[in-house]
Each structure stands twice: as structure tokens, then as C-alpha cells.
Structure 1
């Protein structure tokens, strides 16, 4: 395995958690879901200074897989990683995936954060819808700053499975 510090980014519902779990199973690298680290009970956000410090502690390890965006600290992870995997999946698929998983027990969210069909959930769906226009350019701009880092763009779900096969064959 030539990559020990892996970040997986993309819209909610794109398959980040699925892919990160599969890579962790194959490599044995520790898996960090940023949503588990960020959200406090009652969907309270971690204060910015604490969040930055937490990120620095996470990336201090030799091996990790980090699943999540959090654009305000994405540069910290870009600088530290060996490879970036960007799931640039169609927003219709992302919204459908978010609706399908909504309310189910998930390992990428703290147990104390319960999802409901409420205004916040519909705002979340709107966030997914606007991700390509609002956030994609931030990812691509950061990629330009770190052009020396391998940058894998996944556009279709079947490409996720192809990447998993590549990792299993030790070509990653």
C-alpha cells in the first residue's frame, strides 16, 4: 500500500462513508468519519479553534483514512494526505442516497445525532443540490495548490467498485 494518509471528499450521499469503510477493511488503516468528530449532542457544532486542533491531532498519525468535507479545514487534510479521492457523483444520486439512508443507524454519525424529516433535513437536501456550484470549485482550487498529490476523481458509482478492486489487487 503506497498511500497511508487518504482523504475521501464529496457531496453528502456520494458514497464517501461506503468507500472509506471498504478501504479501511482492506488496508487496516484507522478510519475517521469527520461527522463523528464534529457534531456534539443536539447537532451542536464543534467551536472552530477546537475543530482545528482536533484536525491537527487526527492528521498527526502515520496512517489514516478521513471521510468528510468540512471545507473550512480541508486545506489541513490536503496538506497532510498522500492521496485525495473526490467523489463527484451526480447530485440526483446523492439526494436519493441521502433520503434512502435517512433515519437509519449509521457508523459515520454519532448515536446522539438523530435525523428527522424536518426543516433541517430539507435544508440538508438543498445543501446537496447546491454542492456542485458551491463547493466543487473549492476542492478543485485546493487540488491546484497541491498538484503533486495524487487526485482521483470518481464520477459514477461503478467507478467506486473499480477503485475497491484496484486497492484489493495492491495497485493502490
Structure 2
């Protein structure tokens, strides 16, 4: 579990899981929203974003959270563990509402929170499982056959996986 890629819909809990795994495993955590968006919500070019990810995945240990299917093969090719948070749309929308309540919107680089919710994003979240999840699953099969892959379909399942992985890591290091 030296290189962990966490993928999933907005509001699925990627950032929270990444922070907790990073703390438990003492691994550096990167939130791709922080990498993708510069100041004033300005996205980086595809080339720059890809190059930055190539640098990140060259490290020996990391936890990286973010969907960004166009650059997902970069992370999958180097990941030893892949976690796909495939939660229902209602759960993800509730997660977005909780994030908005907790952080008040905006961008918080320290926490890895990029919270710019608009109707197009809500539609994306609502349709993620039918429109994006099949593509993500296909990319995982194509680029991460070498990795340990976990698909999580509930918040409870994410908590169980976190407990299992951190227990496994402690037992390996002791």
C-alpha cells in the first residue's frame, strides 16, 4: 500500500478517506483539485496537469485523491492500491451538502477542498454512476491489473475498508 489512488464522484468522500489513510500510513497526500485549480479557480492546461501528476506518481509513497478520468491512467499505472468510491448519487449529494455546510464553499488548499457547486456539477453527480463510472471501471481494468482494487459502495463500506487497510498496514510494519 505504498501508492494509493482514490477515485470517485464529487461528494463520495475521497478527500476525507485520503486524509485519514495518509495520516494512518504516514504517506504524503495530494488532492488533485488543489493541483488542477490555480488561483481564482483557473484550471491548469491538460499538459501541465498531466506533467504534475507524472511527478507526483514518481514518488515511492503517496495517496492521491481525485477523479479526472482524462489523466486517470497516469495514477493507475503506478498505483499499488486503487480505491473506487462508487456511492449512490443521493449519498454523494448529501456529502456535497455537508461539505458546503462545513466549509462554506470556496477553495481550501490545506484541506483539499474545492467547493464550487453549480447545477452542471449537481447534474454530473446525479448521472455519475451511469455516465462516468463505467468509464472509470474500464480504465481500472485497462491500467491497474497489477494493483489491489477495492470498490466501495457505501459510507459504511468506506469505514470498514479504512479500518481493514490501516490494521493491515500496522500488522505489516510491526
TM-score of the pair, normalised by structure 1? 0.88
1:170 alignment partner, SS class: helix
Decide which of 98, 108, 112 is 1:108's aligned counterpart: 112
Aligned residues: 163
Partner of 2:50: 52
Please say if 1:138 is aligned against 2:142. no
* Consecutive unaligned residues in structure 1, runs of 5 or more: none
CA positional deviation for 1:38: 0.6
Question: By percentage of residues, which structure has more helix?
Answer: 2
| Greater displacement, 100-109 / 41-50 | 100-109
CA positional deviation for 1:114: 6.6
The 3 A distance-change label for structure 1 pair 78 and 20 is same
Partner of 2:86: 88
Q: In structure 1, what is the Cα distance between the partners aligned to 2:149 and 2:115?
A: 33
CA positional deviation for 1:167: 2.2
**Would you say the 8 A contact 2:3–2:63 is kept in 1?**
yes
Decide which of 8, 11, 35 is 1:10's aligned counterpart: 8
CA deviations over 1:10-35 (Å, ceiling 9, x no partner) = 00001111111110110000000000
Q: In structure 2, what is the Cα distance between the partners aligned to 1:132 and 1:90?
A: 7
CA positional deviation for 1:168: 2.7
